[in-house]
Structure 1
């Protein structure tokens, strides 16, 4: 299985690029979506979070109050470390299950924490999507109704932009529109099909 890791800072355009690969028939495993799945009602991780943070961490319907939790953990690094140690291994296991079940010609793992966690060990190739910080802030505020201060705190908690770029096998500039990504995605798609075929032939 040829697996492509797709990452970038918040608001850089990971989801936009992922949509182009999905339109080409490629399975995209979204680590953010997996992270939401593992804290749904009935999951053991949600029980652990409630034990630590109390009922304030829940919405009235019993699901996780993400905004409350985000504010708490970004205000206190110790709490963020605890949450990461709880969730990262569970998320990684769930991602591995999905990769093993994939019958796509190659699979994309889209993850904001691909390089900050050991998720990068699950991939053969790394794409970094990049955009200027001012655009990251503007896009995230519009998408999440977050304050500029919150978005800046998230950017500060993520890997330095220059370090992330330095780890890229392919760098995608997303300072333009989503339509500008289409030809870039198509070129990468052709490249990955060839690499996946070469890997398959080498193994057989």
Structure 2
């Protein structure tokens, strides 16, 4: 079984591409979705975060204050390492479970936004697939999707590999500057390629 690491900068269209691969029958392990599930109310990881980051990390209803945590980790490298130390081992464990459950599939996808930045999945993936788009599009899409200000999107982009670096490191590239139909066509081509390679 082949494992493809799907990545791309904020607003590049990773989630849409992953959904299209899933529609074609490829199992997808989405590390962001796993992280969200792990930080749901009453989850052990959420209690650990509250213990490490204090009461401001939670809203009064006990849910995670993502805005507060985002601000903390973007302004404090130690805080970022602390959060990663809590979440990353649990995320990797769940990814391993998903891969094991779908072991009969020709290929599987792990969607990792910071695939190249962390190197955490280097030993697990056989190929990397970059969803790429113009930086102006990234900013516009991220602002529209997440209601972030342009400065916030640019701050997030500054913590990620540059577009040039990602293009150099990727085994495969989908250019997502166009319509959903353009993206669908390229996803289908890659799907057929991965079936052949597997």
The residue number in structure 2 matching 1:110 is: 111
**Is the Cα contact below 8 Å between 1:31 and 1:110 reproduced in 2?**
yes
CA drift of 1:179 comes to: 1.6
Relative to structure 2, which stretch is displaced further, 162-171 or 72-81?
72-81
SS at match of 1:120: coil
Match of 1:94 in 2: 94
The CA distance in 1 between the partners of 2:123 and 2:66, in whole Å, is 28
Offset of 1:52 from its aligned partner? Answer: 2.0
TM-score of the superposed pair, with normalisation by structure 2: 0.93
Corresponding residue number in structure 1 for 2:10? 10
Q: Is the 8 A contact 2:128 2:171 kept in 1?
A: yes
Name the counterpart of 2:141. 139
Aligned residues of 1:6 and 1:126 also touching (Cα < 8 A): yes
* TM alignment of 1:8-157, pairs within 5 A: 8-102=8-102, 103-117=104-118, 118-157=120-159
| Equivalent residues of 1:113, 1:119 under 8 A apart | no
1:102-140 Cα shifts (integer Å, max 9, x gaps)? 143311111102222211321111101111111111100
Q: Determine whether 1:161 maps to 2:138.
A: no
What's the C-alpha RMSD, in Å, of the aligned pairs?
1.4
SS in 2 for 1:183: helix
Q: Which stretches in structure 2 are left out of the alignment for 5+ residues?
A: none
Question: How far does the alpha carbon of each residue in 1:46-100 deviate from its partner, in whole angstroms, 9 at most, with x for none?
Answer: 1121112222211233121111211121122221122122222221121111111
Give the secondary-structure state (helix, strand or coil) at the position aligned to 1:126: strand
175-184 or 4-13, which deviates more: 175-184
TM-score scaled by structure 1? 0.90
Is the contact between residue 174 and residue 187 of structure 2 (CA under 8 Å) also seen in structure 1? no
Structure 1 gap ranges (5+): 197-204
Q: State the SS of the aligned residue for 1:83.
A: helix
Decide whether the 8 Å contact of 1:7 with 1:129 is kept in 2: yes
Tell me, in whole angstroms, the C-alpha distance in 2 between the residues paired with 1:60 and 1:98. Answer: 33
